[in-house]
Structure 1
Amino acid sequence: MHRLLSGPLTVEQLTVKIADLSASLRGKKLVHLSDFHYDGVLLSEAMLEEAIALSNQIQPDLVLLTGDYVTTTPKPIHQLALHLQKLQSQAGIYAILGNHDLYYKNSKTEITQALTKVGIQVLWNEIAYPWGDKLPIVGLVDYYYREFNPELLFNQLDPTRPRIVLCHNPDTAARLQPWRVDLQLSGHTHGGQVVIPGLGAVLPYHRKIMQKIPVKLRRLLPFLFKEYFIVHHSEWLQGLHHIGKNQLYVNRGLGTYYPGRLFCPPELTVITLERE
């Protein structure tokens, strides 16, 4: 998508404090990328290359990808994977799939194989240990997929050990409150994509507004009224949130739907870990 409809790429930097974090992990830097929607339209080649170059300049200890690599057909994943193989990370690159990555019956397999081929480990209800048992990475399937089963994974973890959780839809933070989640990384919402200063994201008001628009007008402007984002917790559209004792960070994503972004630019997130 053209920069005029997307806005310039921003780099968000934050420090996240984690209880019981090993001294050897203090100061570790994570790069978080999400919602590429790579199909030659929704994400420009220039912005994708810019994001990869910026990530490499940061020299991250870990790169984490939280889904929606494509929008419908899985075919673009092969070209995207050629770009993503340029990402550099000290301890590896881990990914989960989003709802758009499960659009067709073969999507999961094709996307997983393409990412795996270029050295990206896709977690499907799995736990990875890039630093041994000091900080496991829990990769959950998409919230509305039939195999979403957090209890299965959390029961395998020592409750005294900190962990990072990857799950595409931030609504899952409500479901995960019974367990320890030191940091959950999500995407899905595009940050609301259209944000009005002083009012906030338009997304929470979407349904109310849509119901007042004549059906004939909706048909003339379908892209304005299609419900791309399925979220119940509109208060978690972007940024860092505390849900009980757990922490959630929602990335605004790189890709952009029509009619574009407004005061909600695409982002690359840099997270520095510190001990609480």
Structure 2
Amino acid sequence: MITRRDFMKFVGGGFASAMALGGYAFAFEPLARLNVTRYALTPPGWTPGLKLRVVALADIHACEPWVSASRIASICRQANDLGGDITVLLGDYATGMNFVTRYIHSSEWSKALAILQAPLGVHAVMGNHDWWEDKTAQRNGGGTTFAHRALSDVGINVYSNRAIRLEKDGRGFWLAGLEDQRALIAGKKWKRKHIQGLDDLDGTLAQVGDSDPVILLAHEPDIFPRVPTRVALTLSGHTHGGQVRFLGHSPMVPSRFGDRYAYGHVIEDDRTLIISGGLGCSIGPIRFGVPPEIVVVDLG
């Protein structure tokens, strides 16, 4: 028979555990952890002898206290030390969260991102929050956002349905960047039927002029079922790994495919996708089982 003392110990222990778990999820993992997640692969159709290291940052969601300008600068310095040939930014620089002590202006977070350096340059696409937080761009139904302009102003290459050819050691590859798939909202932003994309996959890939491999930057991974085998690697963010992840599964993922494209390395029909868990938080400042990360991909 359980005594009142034993019951109170049980309740007290459970409460203490819940407080510790909550403190970890709300404070330690979002603020104090930063992983470097590495992948090594040779996709089908990759050029023999072309060895390329890609460093990817996603979903910064700049705001205080969670991802301050100084924290962004620190992350960028660590990214530079990883020896990437090329650095890519996968969207969502602006925050979409109300639990903040201060919103960070685009001139501040872009200045921090300007620290990034790589021999083949730093290249960026937009995310949905970069569009959603720009009321002027929403009214115009397109054009450029403050995030487009802020990154361009500090010398970062910004892609909006554009592809360019790059070379390393005399071997070429293509970098293609899609405009966001959930850019424009009408009415209540959380109703999917009111969201319109500005992405043009076919038009972007039509710019690829030879048989060299293609790396595609697409903020949301939901485009992946439409990506042809012509693309060697698709890099995405957006999901944050679900922000809460248990035993390799995420209960809530902002994707119409659910956990299928929540996080990590996905191979389907000889097509390869890597989804970053990102750096910041959206909706609420919580992460559990999917700490902020810098992604490193070694190709070839």
TM-score (norm 2): 0.75
Asked if 1:77 is matched to 2:127, the reply is no
Count of residues in Structure 1 that have an aligned counterpart in Structure 2: 247
- Kept after mapping to 1: 8 A contact 2:60/2:93: yes
Asked if 1:169 is matched to 2:220, the reply is yes
Question: In the superposition, relative to structure 1, how do residues 3 and 90 fare at CA in structure 2: closer, same or farther (>3 Å)?
Answer: farther
- Kept after mapping to 2: 8 A contact 1:18/1:162: no
What whole-Å deviation, never above 9, does each CA across 1:15-55 have from its counterpart, x for those lacking one? 121344345632x2110000000022441445423321211
- Kept after mapping to 1: 8 A contact 2:64/2:104: no
Alignment RMSD (CA, Å): 2.5
Query: Secondary structure at 2:81's aligned position in 1?
Result: helix
Aligned mates of 2:27, 2:126 — CA distance in 1: 26
- Kept after mapping to 1: 8 A contact 2:70/2:112: no
Counterpart in the other structure of 1:40: 64
- Kept after mapping to 2: 8 A contact 1:159/1:180: no
Query: Secondary structure at 1:200's aligned position in 2?
Result: coil
Once the two structures are superposed, the pairs formed by residues 154-165 of structure 1 within 5 Å of their partners are 154-158=205-209, 160-165=211-216
Deviation at 1:128, TM superposition (A): 2.1
Aligned mates of 1:23, 1:244 — CA distance in 2: 21
Question: In the superposition, relative to structure 1, how do residues 172 and 138 fare at CA in structure 2: closer, same or farther (>3 Å)?
Answer: same
Aligned mates of 1:89, 1:237 — CA distance in 2: 28
Q: What residue identity is the alignment partner of 2:161?
A: N
Question: In the superposition, relative to structure 1, how do residues 4 and 45 fare at CA in structure 2: closer, same or farther (>3 Å)?
Answer: farther
Counterpart in the other structure of 1:225: none
Asked if 1:139 is matched to 2:197, the reply is no
Query: Secondary structure at 2:109's aligned position in 1?
Result: helix
Query: Secondary structure at 1:18's aligned position in 2?
Result: coil
Q: What residue identity is the alignment partner of 1:261?
A: R
Q: 1:113 aligns with which of 132, 146, 149?
A: 149
Question: In the superposition, relative to structure 1, how do residues 39 and 174 fare at CA in structure 2: closer, same or farther (>3 Å)?
Answer: same
Q: What residue identity is the alignment partner of 1:234?
A: D
Q: What residue identity is the alignment partner of 1:126?
A: R
Asked if 1:200 is matched to 2:249, the reply is yes
Q: 1:246 aligns with which of 271, 278, 286?
A: 271
Counterpart in the other structure of 2:80: 56
Question: In the superposition, relative to structure 1, how do residues 114 and 259 fare at CA in structure 2: closer, same or farther (>3 Å)?
Answer: closer
Structure 1: gaps (5+ residues): 205-228
Query: Secondary structure at 2:290's aligned position in 1?
Result: coil
Asked if 1:65 is matched to 2:94, the reply is no
Query: Secondary structure at 1:129's aligned position in 2?
Result: strand
Share of identical aligned residues, percent? 28
Asked if 1:181 is matched to 2:206, the reply is no
Deviation at 1:62, TM superposition (A): 0.2
Deviation at 1:130, TM superposition (A): 2.7
Question: In the superposition, relative to structure 1, how do residues 117 and 173 fare at CA in structure 2: closer, same or farther (>3 Å)?
Answer: same
Aligned mates of 2:80, 2:117 — CA distance in 1: 6
Aligned mates of 2:176, 2:71 — CA distance in 1: 29
Asked if 1:261 is matched to 2:287, the reply is yes
Asked if 1:93 is matched to 2:143, the reply is no
Aligned mates of 1:119, 1:195 — CA distance in 2: 36
Aligned mates of 2:29, 2:36 — CA distance in 1: 18
Asked if 1:130 is matched to 2:166, the reply is yes
Counterpart in the other structure of 2:12: none
- Kept after mapping to 2: 8 A contact 1:59/1:88: no
Question: In the superposition, relative to structure 1, how do residues 259 and 38 fare at CA in structure 2: closer, same or farther (>3 Å)?
Answer: closer
Q: Which runs of 4+ in 1 moved over 4 A?
A: 72-75
* Higher RCO, 1 vs 2 (CA within 8 Å, ≥6 residues apart): 1
What whole-Å deviation, never above 9, does each CA across 1:119-139 have from its counterpart, x for those lacking one? 100000001223288211110
What whole-Å deviation, never above 9, does each CA across 1:73-105 have from its counterpart, x for those lacking one? 996221001111111100100000000011124
Aligned mates of 2:285, 2:83 — CA distance in 1: 34
- Kept after mapping to 2: 8 A contact 1:166/1:186: yes
